Amino acid sequence: MNAPLPAPFASLSPAPVWAHFALLCRTPRPSKHEGPLREQLQAWAQARGLDTHVDAAGNLIVRKPASSGREHEPVTALQGHLDMVCQKNTGSAHDFSRDPIQPVLGADGWLRATDTTLGADNGLGVALILAMLEDPTLSHGPLEALFTVDEEAGMGGAHGLEPGLLKAQRMINLDTEAWGEFYLGFAGGIDVDVRRPGCAEAAPAGHTGRRIALRGLRGGHSGVDIHEERGNAIQLLVRVLHDLAPRAGLRLAALQGGTARNALPREAFAHVSLSPEAAAALPQALALWQGLLRHELAGVDEGLSLSCDDAPVDEVLPTDEQAVWLDSLLASPHGVHRMSRRVPGVVETSNNLGIIDLNPAGGHVNFMVRSLLDSGTQALARQIRSLWALSGSTVTLSGAYPGWTPDPASPLLALCQRVFQRTFGEASSVQVIHAGLECGLIGGKYPGLDIVSFGPTIQGAHAPGEGVDVASVDRTWRLLCAVLAEPA
């Protein structure tokens, strides 16, 4: 990691942080496939004489001794997750299992990936921690670095973290996305997974096949961006199909959309069978729907497009199964369910209709429910389960994680606010967010752990075009160093 920095990182400061982030960009790290990166980081730490441990869940813990004279101070944990959300634009040949991320530095001071996600979430948090572990000149008490796995696909690493493994009394999570804000609470969540077996039948004689594509939506983070009412490709395409099925005699063969449970679906595709007359009229019908949906999404997602092309269709869903899927998907909630009355301006409960994969052999749909109230999470998840249970679908609730209850009296928060004011000459703010972090799960396994979260400014997480404000990374590094230099 000491080699000269490649473009576009060569001019960026602090160089150690960007050197580590460059390595992360070169190393594939989808959720559940972080092993090669973890092994590389473990070997790197051991080569520097640092103690390491990998727990049964696959989390990596690295311990760094205190600076001279600070050995008896409380242990501080620094925490981030190794995996990233892997999203790309249609037409991109990028393979997240092998290809490096290709960041581009803009004249506006933002580092972005154009056709893919950047992995700034949470690669920059990891890079900040690695730079802290590497530098022997920094002043700090005893440190424990906790690099979790599988955060983006269900927080599997935090769920499986072994109790009693950490010795820390306080923890700094580096997985938030707005500089100048300290995060002290967030929503909990649960996955609702629906499955139905299939029973294919032959496409009607004389019908022709078409592939309908809905593209051009912004997508985004289902926790951070849900309140903006951006378009959901699955939900919108279902509206189109539900309308065309009775009017055009449309028969559904397949429906796919979304690739991540916690990302707003940007694209969705349907394979359908129609009579030659209905197929000839389909482009005009889609053009009308495109205009309607663009009008509804004015100022939010005006780039939406609807198109169709020829595609062979041999089998379709039976009409009763088609009705179950389209009716149930149309009735399923997506978006903000309730705003918080306790924390003004913050979403309390929401649901993301995140993934659909349906064909004549069967189908699967995933919903991710979030709420600041654990009872709210359960209530909305059970509402969705009840809806799909009416059709005899198999519905599983899994991966529940608790919310992180704010502690305004946190000594670590007071220290962070004091250091921020002194270092940057301005006041910070305290936030409670709707997006999920691992703090609640970790805090549940380590009662009494004092936790605060902060980080650089990231936009567009979980969608292609994700970017980070380069200047905010430097400020985050300075803040982290200053907080750890403060005697506990």
Positions marked active-site:
83, 151
E strand or H helix at 143, and its extent?
Answer: strand 143-148
User: Rounded CA gap, 424 and 422, in Å?
Assistant: 6
Q: Cβ(334)–Cβ(235) under 8 Å?
A: yes
User: Rounded CA gap, 403 and 423, in Å?
Assistant: 31
Which residue type does 123 have? G
Going along 26-85, which residue ranges are E strands? 51-54, 60-64, 76-81
Q: If we measure between CA atoms, which residue out of 278, 273, 235 comes closest to residue 253?
A: 273
3-class DSSP assignment, residue 287: helix
Q: Sign of the C-alpha dihedral, residues 221, 223, 224, 226?
A: positive
Q: If we measure between CA atoms, which residue out of 122, 193, 170 comes closest to residue 396?
A: 193
Burial of 341: CB neighbours in 10 Å, binned 0-12, 13-18, 19+: exposed
Q: Cβ(65)–Cβ(73) under 8 Å?
A: no
Give all strands of the β-sheet with 458-459 in edge-to-edge order.
104-105, 110-112, 467-469, 458-459
Q: Cβ(40)–Cβ(24) under 8 Å?
A: no
For residue 304 the two structure tokens come to 């939406």
In 10 A of CB 318, how many CB atoms? 14
Q: Are strands 110-112 and 188-197 parallel, antiparallel or unpaired?
A: unpaired
Place of tokens 């249609």: 90
Q: If we measure between CA atoms, which residue out of 213, 58, 41 comes closest to residue 129?
A: 41
User: Rounded CA gap, 221 and 264, in Å?
Assistant: 6
Instruction: Count each helix (H run) and each strand (E run) in the chain, helices first.
Output: 11, 23
The contacts of residue 291 (CB under 8 Å, 6+ apart) are none
In 10 A of CB 61, how many CB atoms? 22
The contacts of residue 8 (CB under 8 Å, 6+ apart) are 103, 104, 105, 111
The contacts of residue 69 (CB under 8 Å, 6+ apart) are none
The contacts of residue 136 (CB under 8 Å, 6+ apart) are none
